């Protein structure tokens, strides 16, 4: 009896995959795996209900903690961003793919399916994991060259109730760290996104009074919010709500996909914006100038691999090792001010700071300013020897 395991999100593409796998590919049994990486609880519920109706066997895996600890925390340490966009979707794909592989292995199924199109990055991220295993891979959306309009009609014919219409055809990808919105009118990069595409952030126009949040980092990882220790999942969820109210963390950009296509992308990621800004600010206090300069290149290389989903490349582990070593002194506290769409650090302190108020102060007598005179005489020495016409 031919069987498949489908990485199921509950959305339009993967829901449509289920009947397609029976009708077009002749599979008898479609097994779905929904990995919870912090999508809204009601989406998980709706996804489960849809899967129970459509698939033959359904598994839900709560991977939130693993996602935060093994994927988001490394990304904070590496200031994970690509072309100015805080990585989100890219971080979750390898985990979702790995969880799907685990279920297939346990059940002894040989064929894996994802619902990605042939235009984006996600097909590459899934398959970078799927194809390291012994499985056959099927991608119906790409294979059958389906359009979103066709899928909407097909879903309706098969009684699949997805919250996507031809007027609001948004393709949304969510995890605890980031929400991405694509498609429809947004595909015109000149078109201003309507308010309705946002769900985690208020419009910054509503201007609440500024709010300070205090974040404590331990070895590059956030461990407390407003003087309350908490685990990563809770901290990110809380901070998403707080910063979202201030309209923090909206991104509207043109992004270069791995295939080379440019795409208009919209994101919201309030907690991620605050935590990455706070983390980088703390790094500036505790890392040496040489470390900071070098780490820019490491962070960029790390982010590029993460964006491409190449987390199995040995370079990824090499870079993580450097990053982890660098984070041993990234301990301390950052005060972030949230106001009208902004998150700015307004205070930082650390037991590991490479900062001496005593030495740098205008009022200090600890260092004699005159000692710098010799240094200044040599500084720019070669340029002074240039013969100018």
Catalytic residues: 13, 93, 122, 171
CA distances from 317 to 8, 80, 221 (A): 28, 15, 18
Q: How far is the CB of 90 from ligand ARG (least distance, A)?
A: 5
Collapse the DSSP code of 165 into the 3-class scheme (helix H, G, I; strand E, B; otherwise coil) and give the result: coil
- Closer residue to ligand ARG, CB minimum distance, 121 or 273: 121
Closest to ligand ARG by CB, 175 or 345: 175
The nearer residue to ligand ARG, 255 or 291, going by C-beta atoms, is 255
Closest approach, Cβ 111 to ligand ARG, in A, equals 23
Please, what's the b/e burial string for 77-106 (b: 16 or more CB within 10 A of its CB; e: otherwise)?
bbbbbbeebbbbbbbbbbbbbbbbbebbee
Whole-number Å distance between alpha carbons of 128 and 97: 9
Question: Which of 160/213 has CB closer to ligand ARG?
Answer: 160
Residues found near ligand ARG in the complex (CB under 6 A): 89-90, 120-121, 171-173, 180, 182, 255, 265
What Å distances lie between residue 87 and 260, 300, 370, CA to CA? 18, 12, 48
Its sign, for the CA torsion 109, 113, 114, 119, is positive
Q: How far is the CB of 264 from ligand ARG (least distance, A)?
A: 10
d(CA 301, CA 77): 13
> CB count, 10 Å around CB of 254?
10
Q: Which is nearer to ligand ARG, 171 or 342 (CB)?
A: 171
339: β partners? 342
């Amino acid at each position: 009896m031919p069987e498949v395991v489908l990485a199921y999100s509950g959305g339009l593409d993967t829901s449509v995959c289920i009947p397609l796998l029976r009708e077009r590919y002749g599979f008898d049994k479609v097994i779905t795996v929904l990995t919870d990486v912090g999508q809204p609880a009601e989406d998980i519920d709706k996804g489960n209900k849809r899967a129970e109706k459509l698939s033959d066997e359904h598994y839900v895996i709560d991977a939130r903690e693993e996602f935060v600890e093994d994927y988001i925390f490394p990304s904070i340490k590496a200031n994970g961003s690509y072309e100015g966009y805080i990585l989100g979707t890219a971080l979750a794909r390898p985990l979702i793919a790995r969880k799907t592989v685990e279920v297939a292995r346990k059940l002894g199924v040989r064929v894996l399916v994802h619902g990605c199109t042939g235009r984006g990055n996600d097909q590459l991220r899934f398959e970078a994991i799927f194809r390291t295993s012994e499985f056959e891979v099927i991608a119906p959306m790409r294979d059958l060259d389906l359009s979103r309009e066709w899928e909407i009609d097909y879903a309706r014919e098969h009684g699949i109730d997805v919250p996507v219409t031809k007027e609001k055809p948004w393709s949304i990808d969510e995890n605890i760290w980031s929400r991405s919105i694509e498609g429809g009118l947004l595909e015109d990069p000149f078109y201003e996104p309507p308010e309705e595409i946002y769900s985690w952030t208020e419009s910054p126009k509503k201007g609440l009074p500024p709010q300070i949040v205090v974040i404590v980092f331990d070895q590059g990882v956030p461990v407390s919010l407003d003087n309350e220790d908490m685990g990563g999942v809770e901290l990110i969820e809380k901070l998403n709500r707080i910063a979202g109210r201030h309209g923090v963390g909206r991104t509207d950009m043109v992004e270069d996909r791995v295939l080379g296509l440019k795409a208009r992308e919209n994101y919201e990621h309030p907690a991620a914006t605050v935590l990455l800004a706070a983390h980088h600010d703390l790094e500036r206090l505790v890392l040496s100038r040489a470390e900071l300069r070098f780490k820019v290149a490491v962070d960029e290389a790390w982010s590029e691999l993460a964006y491409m989903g190449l987390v199995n490349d040995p370079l990824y582990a090499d870079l993580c090792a450097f990053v982890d070593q660098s984070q041993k002194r990234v301990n301390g506290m950052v005060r972030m001010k949230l106001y009208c769409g902004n998150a700015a650090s307004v205070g930082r302190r650390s037991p590991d700071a490479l900062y001496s108020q005593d030495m740098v102060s205008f009022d200090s007598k600890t260092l004699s300013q005159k000692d710098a005179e010799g240094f200044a005489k040599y500084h720019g020495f070669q340029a002074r020897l240039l013969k100018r016409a």
